[in-house]
Each structure stands twice: as structure tokens, then as C-alpha cells.
Amino acid sequence: MNQNKRDGRNAVEEIDVLVVGAGFGGLYQLHQLRKEGFSVKVYEAGAGLGGIWHWNCYPGARVDSHIPIYEYSMENLWEGWNWSERFPDWQELRRYFEYVDKKLDLSKDICFNTRVTGAEFDEDSNSWLVQAGDGLQIRAHRVVFCTGFAAKHYVPDFEGLDDFKGVWHHTALWPQDGLDFKGKRVGIIGTGASGVQVLQEAAKDAAQVTVFQRTPILALAMQQKKLDKETQLEMKKHYLDTYKLRRENFGGFDIISSDKSAMEVSEEERQEVFEASWQKGGFNFWSGTFWDVLLNEESNLKAYEFWRKKVHARVNDPIVAEQLAPLTPPHPFGVKRPSLEQNYYDLFNEEHVSLVNLKETPLKKITANGVKTSAGEQEFDILVMATGFDAVTGGLMQIDIKGTRGKTLKEKWEFGARTHLGVATAGFPNMLFVYGPQSPTGFCNGPTCAEEQGDWMVKCLTDMRENKVQRFEATEDAEESWNRHMDSLLSKTLFGKADSWYMGANIPGKPRQLLMYPGGLQLYLMQCYESTSAGYSGFMLNK
């Protein structure tokens, strides 16, 4: 398309592809699409690169996928980069993104501090007119949303929050220049991955920390390790194999489970397999034990019991241990996202750390001085809202995206997201989303998904250009069939049995649906490329 074509009185820049978001997904799109000769721009709401790693700068924020799984697999990137830890923190991840930026020369095509607020499809020109916060407009033939799964944070509607006289922040909107916990009384609401990480940091300096737990997190041993250059030099000899494995793996990792059921082995063998995975650390205990742990309730319970023993062995007070790891599982193991911990459980043995079980003593309101539960009021200087996200769909639906049928995306997905292949939705032509609903997303390592799903997007856009397709759009029939496929896969798993963000169940009023594709990355990609081979079946193409 022509650049800077006149649109009415205003000069509106015109480009081939607008990418929204400068995290792993968006940067990969920018790099690959530019290589294919497209004119591309990235609009990024944050002031820097990294997506969630720009926003997640709360104390203790670190990734829980290990190195080298959590990085791009491009050799020209990994060969010159070394990490200091197996699970790097947000600061090191930001340095990595700066390095990637320098190597691939990305920033020149990124508009920072530019939050996309709306987009409207113009049927005459088959292009999107996209608006950003400060009145900026751009016209793009195609738009690829790479907003990630956590672009819309969630603060519960707590009564009295506005009256709180201390300082409070949601973890994803943490002040970029930090916040000192030293000597402060800190309350943490929420025990997901963010809450676990904040406690581990806050407990170092704060005078007192109270964790408000509604559902216990099933946190696994991180088994963090320092990494030196020599170790990585050795590791790099196997990187090509590791990246091949991650492409072929269910969740985009290098973790493989046994092909045995947890129920077909002896108690001794079961414990050995569990223990070995536990010692490997990270998500090995989640997805690297027996193949049927997330499918079969009996097998699942065995994993839960092993995990529970590990927790009880570390917490001195048996009442607190029971609150953290109850006899009856709060939900099947692993169907709500586990997090990784280093000393989370040990901290509950410290004098200045306490746990409030909100199931027993519900939170009534936030007061001027602290938090009131049914057991009384506790005073705080700082409140941390580690209360999660309107995940996956929230980030897309908060943008005023107007398609061709008089509906916004928010209206279309009011009763649940509908997509074809988890990449496109009917009524919204020339629009794709990476890491969106009904694709592997939260079930897949981020960088793997950014590359694998990303490669398919690049191929799709290149094929459309080569075949002079002006407009492509998912069909409703294809959406229905993808939905049926999702339901049939879901019914074979235990994921529906937890009120998790995977199921949209963490947000009051949000439709309950599995937001992630549960068939694994390989099956997913197979279907994407089958559609390609069949001339993009499930899409209407107009020249």
C-alpha cells in the first residue's frame, strides 16, 4: 500500500501490517514480516519492550519457564547471549529484550507509549483504521494483535478500596521506580504466581506480611540455579536439539512425561518418578511425571498427595500447613496454573509472616487503615493486589474493535470467544491474533508459541499477498467446528473442574469456557497447516 496517503484532511500513514504489542509475539512478527518485505509498525502501550516484562516489575517478578526454553530459538540471538540464572528475573529479561532490539534493530519501527484504543474495518479499502490513545491514527491492510494473555489486569470490586490511606498497587501496574517495603506492614491479596513471588521478596524487608488466601496455590519447587558462561557454553551444544524438542512438545517445553499411567506402576516406582521430577524443578512435576495426571482423577490425586507431603514437611504449624495444602484438594492438581516457589512455604514459619484463610474468614471490606475480614481488622501500610487478570480475551475486548457486521469484538464475544484455529474470528477480516483465545496460549511456553504460531501467521499473510487476496475472514461454520473440537478435547481432561483463569472463571460474570487449546502444540499446528494446505479452509478469501 502507499505510505502517507491522504485520508480526508488528515494525513494518515498507511502500512501493510500493524502489530499491536511489543512482547515476544509482537517482536517476532515485526522481525519476520519485515524480512518478507511488508511495511510493518508496532504500537506498544508501554514505555519499553517486553510486553508483560515491561509491566511486571513488582518485587520478585521472575519467569517460571527455564532457560533456554524461555527465549527465542534464533541462533544469531542465543549464541551471543548468556543468562545469570536458570529462571531469570524481570530485570534480566528486560536486558534480554534490549539485546534482541539491538541485534534485530526493532525499535525504529515501534511506537512506544501508544495504546491502541480502537480499530474499524473499512470495507471499501479492505483495511483497518486504527486509533491510539493520543489521537494517533494509522491505516493498516492487516492487523495482528499480540496483546498477550495478561493485558487487562483485574482488581476485585472491594468495598472501601478508595478509602485506603496507605499505598496499594496491582502487581501488573507496579511503579516502575519501585516501592520500598522496609519496615512496612504489607498485605498481599491473592496467591497466584504473582502473590507467591511478592511474598518471597516482601518478607525480606517488611516489618510484617500477611497473605490473604482464597484458594491455596499448588506451588512447585523452582530449583533455581545460577548459570555461568562455561555451563551455558556446554548447554549451547544441545540448544538445536532442545529447540527441536520444544517445537514438538505438547506445551512447547523440553519436558516429557512417562508413557505409563500413574496407576499402572508400583507405589515405589510412582514415588521415584514424582521425586525425580520434583528434584528437576520447574514445571517438571506438572507435566513430566505420568501421561495421565491431568486426565485421570486417581492419578491426579496421587500427584496431589505427593505435593501435599512436600508442603507439610516444610511448615511447622500443622494448622497453617493444612490451610496451605489441605487434605481435600481445592481442585485437581495442575488444572489451575501452579506457580514455582523458592521459599514460599518456609516463610510461614517466620514470626512476621502470617496467613489469612479467606474461605474461613471472608474479606468484608478495605478500610482506611487496612483490611477487615469476618475475624476483625488488620492495619497495613501497603496493600498488594496480586489478583490476576481478565486473561486472554480481556486485553482484546477492551479495545473498541468494530468489524463488518455492526458489532464490536466485545459484543461478539459477550457470551464466549469464538474463533477459527484460535487466530481469527468471523466478521473481523484481515485481523489475526497471536496467543489468543482457543489457541495453545497459556498451555504453551510463550516464546515457543510466539515463534510457532507466529510462523503460521507470517505464512498466512505472505500467501494472502502472493495470491492477491484483499480480504480474508474466518467463517462461522469454521468457528462452530473449532468450538466443537475444543469441547471434545476438554471433556477428556480435568481442566473443567477448577475455577481458574484458564476457564475464565476468575472474573465475576465472565462466560465459563476453556480459553486455551487443550490438544497440545503439535496437534494445534497440524490443523493450522492443514487449513493452509487446503487453501486456507475455514476462511473466506476475496481478491
What does the H/E/C string look like for 275-330? HHHHHHCCCHHHHCCECCCCCCHHHHHHHHHHHHHHHHCCCCCHHHHHHHCCCCCC
Q: Of 56, 52, 58, 64, which Cα lies nearest the Cα of 26? A: 52
Q: How far is the CB of 170 from ligand N01 (least distance, A)?
A: 9
Cα 108 versus chain centre, distance: 26
Q: Which is nearer to ligand N01, 72 or 501 (CB)?
A: 501
Q: How far apart are CA 262 and CA 274, in angstroms?
A: 10
45: which DSSP letter? S
Least Cβ distance, residue 34 to ligand N01 (angstroms):
28
Name the residue nearer to ligand N01 (CB basis): 141 or 337.
337
Q: How far is the CB of 445 from ligand N01 (least distance, A)?
A: 10
Query: Whose Cβ is closer to ligand N01: residue 199's or residue 303's?
Result: 199
Nearer to ligand N01 (CB atom), residue 192 or residue 329: 192
Nearer to ligand N01, 500 or 527 (CB): 500
**Minimum CB–partner distance for residue 76 and ligand N01 (Å):** 26
Report the chain's terminal Cα–Cα distance, integer Å: 15
Could you tell me if 100 and 124 are in contact, meaning their C-beta atoms sit under 8 angstroms apart?
Answer: no
DSSP string, 367-389: -SSEEEETTEEEE-SEEEE---B
| 396 contacts: CB under 8 Å, gap ≥ 6 | 145, 147, 151, 409, 433, 436, 437
Count of Cβ atoms closer than 10 Å to residue 171 Cβ? 28
- Those residues with Cβ within 8 angstroms of residue 508's Cβ, 6 or more apart along the chain or in another chain: none
- Smaller CB distance to ligand N01: residue 378 or 506? 506
Whether the Cβ atoms of residue 364 and residue 395 lie closer than 8 Å to each other: no
Residue whose Cβ sits closest to ligand N01: 192
Complex with ligand N01: residue 164 or 472, whichever CB lies closer? 164
CB of 41 to ligand N01, least distance (A): 28
- Give me the least distance between CB of 194 and ligand N01, in Å please: 3
> Are the beta carbons of 130 and 345 closer than 8 angstroms?
no
When the beta carbons of 191 and 378 are compared against ligand N01, the nearer one is 191
Residues forming the site for ligand N01 (CB under 6 A):
62-64, 150, 156, 171, 189-195, 197, 214-215, 337, 358, 363, 386-389, 442, 501, 506
Taking the C-alpha atoms of residue 417 and residue 514, their distance in angstroms, rounded to an integer, is: 10
Q: How far is the CB of 156 from ligand N01 (least distance, A)?
A: 3
Question: What secondary structure letter does DSSP report for 71?
Answer: S
CB of 231 to ligand N01, least distance (A): 22
